Amino acid sequence: MIKLRHLLTLLWICAVVFASAQEAGTFTDPRDGKAYKTVTIDILLEGDVTVKRTWMAENLNYEVPESFCYKNEPAYCEAYGRLYTFKAAVEACPEGWHVPTISEWNLLFRTYGGIHEAGIALQKGGKSGMELAPGGFGDPGNVFKNIGISGNYWDSEKKSDNTSGLISVQKGNKEIFHSVIGDWHRNSCRCIKDY
């Protein structure tokens, strides 16, 4: 009986700690009135310093030039958000928000076990509340692939004037992949709030 009481106390403490580590919210884009779920996460830096970072917990779905619905079908935009060239993603993030840097993504990954472990925690139903959705991707030839299989997100890392960083998660996979690709590809966008 005592062991059960200790276990229940420990579970309650863990729930309180976890609840304080992230906070759900909403942001309404004043440009079109669309409301987005958000999540504010406590990010642990070196030396036990903690900062709060607020992320969109849904894929961006604001129409700008060079943004697309998967296979040009509006129903996919409603379900998964729009796919953007890098330039369009930068333009589409609302005022006060931006395309995350690779450092911001890496801090998020580290919070949930690192690049080799965080994939499940960041996907739909994962403990982070980020709800990364597998919206697939597109290329300039109007070829769209991998909806329901992978989510591909811009980061603002630049290796050259016409390439940018890409974060990829695959449904059910704990590994997160990072690469650099041409800015003209079409990928999802998650904006992070300026701080």
Tokens 């050259």, located at residue: 160
Count of domains forming the chain: 1
Which residue range is the domain that position 64 belongs to? Answer: 27-193
Average pLDDT over residues 24-30: 97
In a domain, 13, yes or no: no
Using CA atoms, how far apart are residues 151 and 130, in angstroms rounded to an integer?
Answer: 12
- Calpha distance 167→139 (Å, rounded): 16
pLDDT at 3: 57
**Digit-coded pLDDT (tens) for 140-156:** 888 999 999 999 999 99
Q: CB within 8 A of 49, min separation 6: which ones?
A: none
Confidence category of residue 44, pLDDT binned at 50, 70, 90: confident
pTM score, whole prediction: 0.87
- Under the banding of pLDDT at 50, 70 and 90, the label for residue 11 is very low
Residue 170, in any domain of the structure: yes
* Tens digit of each residue's pLDDT (9 = 90 or more) over 81-108: 999 999 999 999 999 999 999 999 999 9
**Domain membership flag for residue 9:** no
Q: What is the pLDDT of residues 168-188, one digit of tens each?
A: 999 999 999 999 999 999 999
Residue 45 clears pLDDT 50, i.e. is over it: yes
Q: Are strands 97-98 and 150-160 parallel, antiparallel or unpaired?
A: unpaired
Q: How confident is the model at residue 48 (pLDDT cuts 50, 70, 90)?
A: confident
Please indicate, yes or no, if residue 1 is contained in any of the structural domains. Answer: no
Average pLDDT, the chain: 90
Task: Give DSSP secondary structure letters for the chain.
Answer: -HHHHHHHHHHHHHHHHHHHHEEEEEEE-TTT--EEEEEEEEEE-GGG-EEEEEEESS------TTEE-GGG-HHHHHHH--EE-HHHHHHHSPTTEEPPPHHHHHHHHHHTT-TTTTHHHHBTT-TTS--B--EEEE-TTS-EEEETTEEEEEEEEEEETTEEEEEEEETT---EEEEEEETTSBBB---EE--
Which pLDDT score is estimated for 129? 97
Question: Per the domain annotation, does 21 fall within a domain?
Answer: no
Q: Please, are residues 150 and 167 in contact by the beta-carbon 8 Å criterion?
A: no
Give a yes or no: residue 149 inside a domain. Answer: yes
Q: Is residue 131 part of a domain?
A: yes
Whether residue 10 lies inside any domain: the answer is no
